[in-house]
Amino acid sequence: MAVFLLLAFLSGVWSCQNGWLQHDSNCYHFSHDLEDWTGAAYMCKTMGGKLVEIETAAENSFLKGVVDNRKHSYWIGLSDVQEEGIWMWMDSKAKLSDTGFSSWVSGNPNNDGGNENCATINQNTGGRWNDWQCRQSIFYICESDIETQVVG
């Protein structure tokens, strides 16, 4: 198996499924349908991924380019639903404060109205994030490792 994986890597067989975009070693799906945050997380899992966890400025910059081009805001996998004010990536359970990268819109997260517990990456904000009401239906971004999407 290891030999196959090495050969696949060396021969450039790694690619993303139709409808997913590749960046570095990940594949991303920018939805065409609207879901609330929980529904978006479910849809990503059914497609073999997760709501995107943005770990670096380079990854955020790639996502920003697509988001701005498509002119929508998208759910990302960040929330403080478990404990108010403690933002956590929901799939890895990593606390945002421990990850070393964030990109909030100035003044955010602000929990406007006392009910904004899920995060979005927004168009026309320089790839900045905003906290939003989880029950709102918007687009979403799924992420998966390229290794799980070998196309052959």
Which residue(s) pair with 74 in the sheet? 121, 139
Closest C-alpha among 79, 85, 24, 72 to residue 51: 79
Structural domains in the chain (count): 1
| pLDDT tens per residue across span 76-93 | 999 999 999 999 999 999
Give a yes or no: residue 107 inside a domain.
Answer: yes
What is the CA angle 56-44-18, rounded to 5?
90
3-state secondary structure of 7: helix
Give a yes or no: residue 152 inside a domain.
Answer: no
Give a yes or no: residue 3 inside a domain.
Answer: no
Give a yes or no: residue 2 inside a domain.
Answer: no
Residue-averaged pLDDT of the chain:
90
Give a yes or no: residue 84 inside a domain.
Answer: yes
Please give the residue range of the domain that contains residue 135. Answer: 23-147
Please report which confidence band the pLDDT of residue 60 belongs to, taking 50, 70 and 90 as the band edges: very high
Give the mean model confidence (pLDDT) for residues 48-65. Answer: 96
Give a yes or no: residue 7 inside a domain.
Answer: no
Q: What is the CATH number of the domain that holds 39?
A: 3.10.100.10
State percent of the chain over pLDDT 70. Answer: 88
> What's phi and psi for 130, nearest 5 deg?
-140, 145
Give the CA count within 13 Å in the CB-facing half-sphere of 94.
Answer: 13
Give a yes or no: residue 6 inside a domain.
Answer: no
Whole-number pLDDT of residue 118: 98
**Model pTM score:** 0.88
Give a yes or no: residue 139 inside a domain.
Answer: yes
